[in-house]
Chain A
Amino acid sequence: MNLAIETEDLGKRYGDVTAVEHLSLRVAEGEIYAFLGLNGAGKTTTIRMLLGMIKPTTGYAKVLQTRVRLGSREPWEAVGYLVEIPHSYPELTVYENLEVARRLHPGTPREAVGRIIERLGLAAYADRRTGNLSQGNAQRLGLAKALLHSPKLLLLDEPANGLDPAGIVEVRELLLELTREQGVTVFMSSHILAEVSRLAQRIGIIHDGHLLQELNIDELERSRWKRLLLRARDVASAQRALLAAGQPAEILPDGAIELKNASAVERPDEVNCLLVKAGSPPTQLLVEEEELEQYFLRLVGMDGGPHNG
């Protein structure tokens, strides 16, 4: 397996402040990897270290099998990136800004500018100065600059920032298409788990500069809390029946009965039969999954919700 990104014990300190510590990541070629963390968790610092803009205080990073060094020309020919807010030269038009980006990537054909303008839906704004662009279109321009030279690897810092819901879907489909059809690797940062779970195959969760967990998307599904909530007319006798059947049932303050064990969550129909036979048929059965954001907050120790504890 070829690695598009590899870091070993990567770390960055600013005086007494640790921005990133002991970060060891492996991102395979053709993979979409989401780097998830709250604001200030160390996502942008990591991306800047991967791009050779910041020198790590410990460890190293390899991008497309090339060790990243400050101020080096390699391997940026095959890398496209978007870091933080996508700035552009406000006095130049969208077309001219992309022409600047094209010349910064020698060998990129002239027609690439027109193609990327069409693809990112910027045709109507091509001759508009970028100082007058909306936040969403500025984000599209940032993505266009990253994609202009048909890179093999995309490093995208919060790519959905400023986009409207239609734009988010459009960008998601574009990234999926690039991965599927051209084998492009995408390393993207975000602070919204629900957004990346629809796109990424693997997720790394960073908090306070440390990688807390790395998991595949199916592992994410398994790791989230699930529970069966049921209501009955006679709650006490329903609970007795469940306890007698070996189901640890708890009555919640709102009068609902909560079942957390896997057999109940995976087979609510059997729970229903059991209660019907016991003479306490349920009036409501609901399998509830932990919200992605709730799961994320639980992982980073900021959970205050009903699953806590």
Chain B
Amino acid sequence: MANLSDMIWIESRKAIRSRMPLWTALGSLFVPLGIAFLIFVAKNPAVSQRLGLVSAKANLMAYAATDWPTYLGLFGQIMAAGGFLLFVLVVSWTFGREFADGTLKDMLAVPVERASILLAKFVVVALWSALLTVVILLAGLVTGALIGLPGGSAGIIAQGSALVLITACLVIAVVMPFALFASVGRGYLLPIGVAVLTLMLTNLVAIVGWGEDFPWAVPGLYAQGKSPLTPVSYWIVFLTCLAGMVATYLWWKFADQSR
């Protein structure tokens, strides 16, 4: 794969200079800060009484996350749903912007393999999403410590963190096909629309019990740790990722590009 390092330089430069990674990182901080706030409210009755509806939600959250294992489990589940939408945003921007900004044509008649250009984009999407995961996890660990959650030991926190990281890896894999939607839709709207539909479908599929065979439900089931995921589920996730990347490549190579 010749010129891959140059293509990665180009893609990372575009991302960093756009400040999108910074904005998405700041946005993702709302997840741990929000959870910490609700737990804080639930643990302080004086504040809780003044906040009404927020207090009811806070009590629910506090019930769900009373100690470190459940707190980090909750993060894993939030990563499966919220992280999915966040990472779809990353993929949509990385691929869709070339159409929205009209810059695609400058990448088409060039002496560089189309595969190198696309692989660089996928690499940057994966690194960017991994970075957001680390930001969310670190912020979660700090806030968890600040609100004084009980039941924490190095082993428990490492285990919980591994759960969050593996869930994020599974989510990163299943968002790759959204590069195709960004390309076919020539922008951001189609992938984001399909992502919302996918979330709805995921809930439906999980309710009827087919979740382990539906790639977008696998990260959530993994984060819950209850459902019996088999190796087939992980293969389905891997193949979904691969199929999404190959389909995007074929579309970029063979579809008419008239913009």
A92–B108 CB distance below 8 A: no
What is the CA–CA distance of A92 and B114 in the complex, to the nearest angstrom?
A: 22
What is the CA–CA distance of A101 and B109 in the complex, to the nearest angstrom?
A: 11
B107–A104 CB distance below 8 A: yes
Given A53-B258, A103-B6, are A76 and B109 also a contact pair (CB < 8 Å)?
A: yes
Instruction: Name A54's contact: one of B103, B106, B258 (CB within 8 Å).
Output: B258
Given A52-B109, A71-B114, A91-B17, are A104 and B10 also a contact pair (CB < 8 Å)?
A: yes
Given A52-B109, A53-B257, A83-B105, are A106 and B13 also a contact pair (CB < 8 Å)?
A: no
**B197 is an interface residue with CB less than 8 A from chain A:** no
Given A71-B253, A100-B13, are A76 and B110 also a contact pair (CB < 8 Å)?
A: yes
What is the CA–CA distance of A104 and B106 in the complex, to the nearest angstrom?
A: 9
Chain B residues within an 8 Å CB radius of A101? 106
Given A52-B108, A96-B17, are A89 and B252 also a contact pair (CB < 8 Å)?
A: no
**B3 is an interface residue with CB less than 8 A from chain A:** yes
Chain A residues within an 8 Å CB radius of B111? 73-74, 76-77, 105-106
Closest to A49 in B: B256
What is the CA–CA distance of A92 and B101 in the complex, to the nearest angstrom?
A: 13
Instruction: Name B110's contact: one of A48, A54, A83, A104 (CB within 8 Å).
Output: A104
A44 to chain B minimum Cβ distance, whole angstroms, is 8
Closest to B117 in A: A104
Q: For chain B residues 154-187, which have a beta carbon within 8 Å of chain A?
A: none
Interface size on A, residues (CB 8 A): 32
A77 to chain B minimum Cβ distance, whole angstroms, is 4
Chain B residues within an 8 Å CB radius of A96? 13, 17
- Contact code string A79-109 (vs B, CB < 8 Å = 1, else 0): 1010111011111100010001101111000
Chain B residues within an 8 Å CB radius of A84? 105
Q: For chain B residues 1-20, which have a beta carbon within 8 Å of chain A?
A: 2-3, 6-7, 9-10, 13-14, 17-19
Output the residue of B111, B113, B257, B258 with the most chain A CB within 10 A: B111
Chain A residues within an 8 Å CB radius of B6? 103, 106
**B102 is an interface residue with CB less than 8 A from chain A:** yes
Closest to B5 in A: A103
What is the CA–CA distance of A145 and B103 in the complex, to the nearest angstrom?
A: 12
B101–A48 CB distance below 8 A: no
Determine chain A's interface SS by DSSP, over half rule: loop
B108–A89 CB distance below 8 A: no
B14–A71 CB distance below 8 A: no
Contact-residue bracket for chain B: 20 to 34
Closest to A101 in B: B106
Instruction: Name A100's contact: one of B10, B105, B108 (CB within 8 Å).
Output: B10
Output the residue of A71, A92, A103 with the most chain B CB within 10 A: A71
B10–A103 CB distance below 8 A: yes
Given A53-B256, A71-B114, A103-B6, are A89 and B103 also a contact pair (CB < 8 Å)?
A: yes
**A70 is an interface residue with CB less than 8 A from chain B:** yes
B109–A91 CB distance below 8 A: no
B112–A55 CB distance below 8 A: no
What is the CA–CA distance of A65 and B93 in the complex, to the nearest angstrom?
A: 38
B106–A70 CB distance below 8 A: no
**A229 is an interface residue with CB less than 8 A from chain B:** no
What is the CA–CA distance of A253 and B68 in the complex, to the nearest angstrom?
A: 98
Chain A residues within an 8 Å CB radius of B257? 48, 53-54
Closest to A74 in B: B111
B14–A91 CB distance below 8 A: yes
What is the CA–CA distance of A70 and B114 in the complex, to the nearest angstrom?
A: 11
Chain B residues within an 8 Å CB radius of A55? 254, 256
What is the CA–CA distance of A77 and B112 in the complex, to the nearest angstrom?
A: 9
What is the CA–CA distance of A79 and B111 in the complex, to the nearest angstrom?
A: 9
Q: For chain B residues 203-259, which have a beta carbon within 8 Å of chain A?
A: 252-254, 256-258
A103–B7 CB distance below 8 A: yes
| 24 cross-chain CB contacts under 8 A | A51-B109, A53-B109, A53-B256, A55-B254, A70-B253, A71-B114, A71-B252, A71-B254, A73-B110, A73-B112, A73-B113, A76-B109, A81-B109, A83-B105, A85-B102, A87-B103, A90-B101, A96-B17, A100-B10, A100-B13, A100-B14, A103-B7, A104-B106, A106-B112
Q: Which residues of A contact B (CB under 8 A)?
A: 45, 48, 51-55, 70-71, 73-74, 76-77, 79, 81, 83-85, 87-92, 96, 100-101, 103-106, 145
Known: A79-B109, A106-B2, A145-B106. 13 other contacts (CB 8 A): A51-B109, A53-B257, A54-B257, A73-B113, A76-B110, A85-B102, A87-B103, A87-B106, A89-B17, A91-B19, A104-B10, A104-B112, A106-B112
